Amino acid sequence: MSNEIIKNMSDKDYRDYDAVSRSELMDVLESIDKWKERKGVDTRATRFGTYFHSRVLEPDTVEQNYNLVDVASYSTKKAKEVKELEPNKSVVIKPDWAKADSMVSKLSLNSEAKRLLWDIEGDNEVTFIKQSEKYGLKLKCRVDRVLWDEGILIDLKTTRDDARPHAFMKSVMAYKYELQAAYYKDLVKQCTGRDWDFLFLVVEKESPHGIKTHTISEDDEQLGRLQYQLALRRLSDYKRGLIKETGYSKDLNTVNLPTYYRDSIQTLLHSF
């Protein structure tokens, strides 16, 4: 099939499915070499994020995929022994599962989060797959929550910083969330034949776990669209043998310091 919507695909099956994801496009924007040698990021933060998503979006899978161990560190003997006994399950230590519990509780008490995650009928962890004739590539995305009747796609984010607008702006720029919003909206539209809104539901990791909902402006979403389309063109050209230089550009780069830095130097010079 050229278009597929899959509601029960596991996270592992999604990652193993041979199609281009948003994270791959971000690698391509750096270089084809980065894309060719891409490796999954495995840190305590990413493992916590995966566990938290399971707690909120797939609670029925937690028992079969995780062992909650009442210790304070992953380096303890008990944590290692539990992992050895059941290597196919992920170990979650008490500080992490307790924090996740607290965050889930805060979400359930927040009227907007509760409405989006639980009160309105929808489906969690929905996979969309599309064969792109233009680029000759199969594309995929996995949406945290789909509210079909409302036409809303929801991405649940955790942040160690601040969920308020000024701080979330930094996350948008660091992780190219404008690209994600455009890519997901466009791919889901191609699979469903309708327009969608895209919301980021952000919850802070640290107590009191502030919560804020964000969306990307149309102008910035268009910037994201141009970026992912550029990445698709580059990847398509590489696969067709049209790109030979797969690393960084060999052109000499001239460094131009940003205005705020120049101004700080001028202030320093005038202070003597």
Note whether 76 and 172 are same-domain residues. no
Question: What pLDDT score was predicted for residue 225?
Answer: 98
Question: What pLDDT score was predicted for residue 41?
Answer: 73
Which one of 55, 83, 109 terminates a domain? 109
Note whether 14 and 64 are same-domain residues. no
Instruction: Identify whether the C-beta of residue 12 lies closer than 8 Å to the C-beta of residue 214.
Output: no
Note whether 80 and 62 are same-domain residues. yes
Nearest of 97, 176, 102, 181 to residue 143 by alpha carbon: 181
Q: Distance between CA 34 and CA 29 in Å, rounded?
A: 9
Backbone angles phi, psi at 66, to 5 degrees: -135, 145
Note whether 137 and 104 are same-domain residues. no
Note whether 153 and 232 are same-domain residues. yes
Note whether 52 and 94 are same-domain residues. yes
Q: What is the CATH number of the domain that holds 211?
A: 3.90.320.10
Q: What is the pLDDT of residues 168-178, one digit of tens each?
A: 999 999 999 99
The separation between CA 217 and the C-alpha centre of its own chain, rounded to angstroms, equals: 18
Count how many domains the chain has.
2
In a domain, 205, yes or no: yes
Note whether 60 and 169 are same-domain residues. no
Which one of 67, 83, 109 terminates a domain? 109
In a domain, 117, yes or no: no
Which one of 60, 84, 109 terminates a domain? 109
Backbone angles phi, psi at 218, to 5 degrees: -60, -40
- State the pTM of this model: 0.91
In a domain, 55, yes or no: yes
Q: What is the pLDDT of residues 55-100, one digit of tens each?
A: 999 999 999 999 999 999 999 999 999 999 999 999 999 999 999 9
Question: What pLDDT score was predicted for residue 262?
Answer: 94
CA dihedral 74, 75, 76, 77 (to 10 degrees): 110
Note whether 24 and 71 are same-domain residues. no
Q: Distance between CA 272 and CA 255 in Å, rounded?
A: 27
Note whether 196 and 173 are same-domain residues. yes
SS3 154: strand
How would you classify residue 167: left for phi > 0, otherwise alpha for psi between -120 and 50, otherwise beta? alpha
In a domain, 260, yes or no: no
Nearest of 194, 201, 225, 205 to residue 215 by alpha carbon: 201
C-alpha distances (whole Å) from 135 to each of 15, 88, 179 are 21, 37, 18
Note whether 91 and 78 are same-domain residues. yes
Q: Tell me: pLDDT of 1 over 70.
A: no
Q: Distance between CA 2 and CA 15 in Å, rounded?
A: 19
Note whether 167 and 241 are same-domain residues. yes
Domain that holds residue 6: 1-36+123-246
